Structure 1
Amino acid sequence: MENILAEVKQEITVNVPVELIWHAWTISDRVALWFAPETNIEAKVGGAYELYFIPGNRTGMNTKGCKVLKLNFFRELVFEWKGPDQFSSLMNVGEQLTIVSVNFEKIEDNTTKVTVRHTGFKEDDAWTEAVKWHEMAWSGVLKSLKNALETGKGELCCQPE
């Protein structure tokens, strides 16, 4: 029987107000500046949280069909997740998608801690590479977010090689 691993967890402190970081995660045009070049995000429970990592491609490298599960304005965003193509037969099957929770903690007026928790990975050898890949990817995503908001130069995540 498979067991659920604890989580992939990454965090970063960004020197901007929490409201700007919230909008960077919840407004399609802003997400496209630092995460994926094409997005479809509806900031409401049940709304889309779709990222397209290859412009114009709706069949690969995307989170098509993923939904927002929870919104607690300026504090928490929770959405479904589909892994990249190399893990699609493992992670993107049926109703058992993994879940991403993003927490926003105001440290000071212009400083916010962002914590990403990605859960739903199975404890199974087949999942080991997926977990490692997501540890690397979420670290890069948060660095891109920080760069985009602090310097205006985001680096789009997870581009195919």
Structure 2
Amino acid sequence: MRLVLLSLLLAAPAFVFAQQRAIDKETIVPAPVAEVWRSWTTKTGIESFFAPQAEIDARPGGAFHIHFDPLAQPGMKGADDMRFMALQPMTMLSFDWNAPPSLPEARGQRTFVIVRLHDVDGRSTRVTLHHTGWGDGGEWDKAYAYFDRAWGNVLANLKKRHESGPVDWTDWMEQLRKMHAAPAAK
């Protein structure tokens, strides 16, 4: 009996260490699963809620390039070189992800996102998002805090897109144009 207790006590720190931090978000979208699936797996869908520009090739290994700043240099547009990792039609998609350009140390690595779709009542879809693969310390803590906020906004935009229509990126793009023009004006 003592040996069993000792084994459990020694194993406990390893179990705690093995637990990885993750971001978990959820929302109910007022649309059938097929519509929500298209929002995540087509260029038009992504551009309707996630970012003003995207390159989407919905297959394992296919492009999942999300350009938050389409006017930036290649590699600095956002999630420039991300890829779909797996797709289970109408059920699950996963992709790799990186930190924003403002966090170059963390940006050089990849994390992983899994999005699951669950039919609620034929007219609504529960969307869960699980983001894992975080490092420790340095910019990882900043990246984690950034995405803990950002994913809530992304899911809110997805819900809003299906409630009242696609995001209008006009003001966003105008702000980007001004930001990119500012250094040239000096």
TM-score scaled by length of structure 2: 0.76
Deviation sequence 1:78-127 (CA, Å, 0-9, x none):
0010111122321x32xx41011100011110011001111111232532
Deviates more, 1:148-157 or 1:42-51: 148-157
Select the residue among 37, 40, 44 that pairs with 2:52: 37
Q: Report what 1:121 is aligned to.
A: 134
Change (3 A) 1:125 1:30: same
Please give the residue correspondences for 1:1-150 in structure 2 after superposition, counting only pairs within 5 Å. 5-57=20-72, 58-90=74-106, 92-93=107-108, 96-150=109-163
Q: Distance in 2 between matches of 1:113 and 1:89?
A: 34
After superposition, the CA RMSD in angstroms is: 2.3
The answer (yes or no) to whether the contact 2:70–2:77 under 8 Å persists in 1 is no
Query: Relative to total residues, which structure has the larger helix share, 1 or 2?
Result: 2
1:82 corresponds to which letter in structure 2? N
Change (3 A) 1:126 1:89: closer
| Residue 5 (structure 1) shift | 3.1
The alignment covers a number of residue pairs equal to 156
Matched residue SS, 2:31 = coil
Change (3 A) 1:115 1:155: farther
Q: Distance in 1 between matches of 2:158 and 2:49?
A: 6
* Same amino acid, percent of matched pairs: 28
Matched residue SS, 2:78 = coil
Q: Distance in 1 between matches of 2:20 and 2:77?
A: 24
Q: Distance in 1 between matches of 2:59 and 2:29?
A: 24
Matched residue SS, 1:31 = helix
Tell which has more relative contact order, 1 or 2 (C-alpha 8 A, sep 6+): 1
| Structure index of larger Rg | 2
Deviation sequence 1:23-78 (CA, Å, 0-9, x none):
00000112111101110010101100001111232231421221111000010000
1:101 corresponds to which letter in structure 2? I
Q: Distance in 1 between matches of 2:124 and 2:58?
A: 23
Unaligned 5+ segments in structure 2 are 1-16, 180-186
Query: Relative to total residues, which structure has the larger strand share, 1 or 2?
Result: 1
The answer (yes or no) to whether the contact 1:12–1:113 under 8 Å persists in 2 is yes
Change (3 A) 1:155 1:105: farther
